[in-house]
Chain A
Amino acid sequence: MIDEHGVELACLHALGLLDQTDAADLGEAAGPGSPLENLVRDLSEAAAALALAASTPPPPALRSRVLAAIGSRPEGRENL
């Protein structure tokens, strides 16, 4: 069972509105595999889906620009 405060923290996390104190509280409460962790993930996906409602094709030139830009960059640099 997730209490109301847990639900509120999960919503704030999903919308990127958590402050550091609340983030720490949520981190402690939402252990791996816990119902709260699942709720955090579900609400984050629901919030991200809002971007789909705003879908707008970018200018075609942006695709070329992005693909050209990765041509000069190594991938997975963070793991090296």
Chain B
Amino acid sequence: MLLTRVAEGNREAFAQLYDRFSSPLYGAAMQILRDTAEAQDVVQDAFLTLWEKAATFESSRGSAFSWAVTLVRNRAIDRVRMRRRRSELLAESAPEDLGYFAGALQAGGDESATQGDEARAVRAAVATLPPEQQRALELAFFGGLTQEEIARKLREPLGTVKARIRRGLMKLRDSLADRL
């Protein structure tokens, strides 16, 4: 496994890991931060953490990719929350219509064949979700909003938002079952 070799200090394996993960990680960071410099900083920081902590990775808890996405997402959302605190805009600063998935659905012209296949499969799976489920998931995943914040933003009951998130993610899991 690639991460095992990284944990052994294999720099070539680390370079392969970078080549495999960097596009989705950078794309996710860009969707969250909307700033190229900050996205690059976050991705670099996440890769350094992967390098330093590869030996602590437990495959029984999930994939290396899932771990890497969590590292990037947490760092990017922390930065967004710091921005919000600074500007005292909190939930209001979350974009109204960034169209995360709409933008993502058009992305990907420069990917490798394998990455392109995976990305296309996920985009196709997302596209099958009802728009309101896509919206709730994008605000949670890329917007870093809590369910309560999403409910306020969409002016929908909390229970409705919870149901949309739950149904959307479950359906996504089912759609991607043979790829995950």
The B interface is mostly helix, strand or loop, or mixed, namely helix
CB distance from A16 to the nearest CB of B (A): 7
CB distance from A22 to the nearest CB of B (A): 11
| A48-80 interface bits toward B, Cβ cutoff 8 Å, 1 = contact, 0 = none | 111111111111001101110111011111110
Interface size class of B (residues with CB under 8 A): 35 or more
Q: Which A residues contact B (CB, under 8 angstroms)? A: 7-8, 11-12, 14-17, 41-59, 62-63, 65-67, 69-71, 73-79
Supply 27 A–B pairs (Cβ within 8 Å), ascending by A. A8-B162, A11-B165, A15-B169, A44-B66, A46-B176, A48-B66, A49-B118, A52-B121, A54-B24, A54-B27, A54-B28, A54-B31, A55-B27, A56-B107, A56-B110, A57-B23, A62-B40, A62-B44, A67-B18, A70-B11, A71-B11, A73-B51, A75-B7, A76-B9, A77-B52, A78-B52, A79-B55
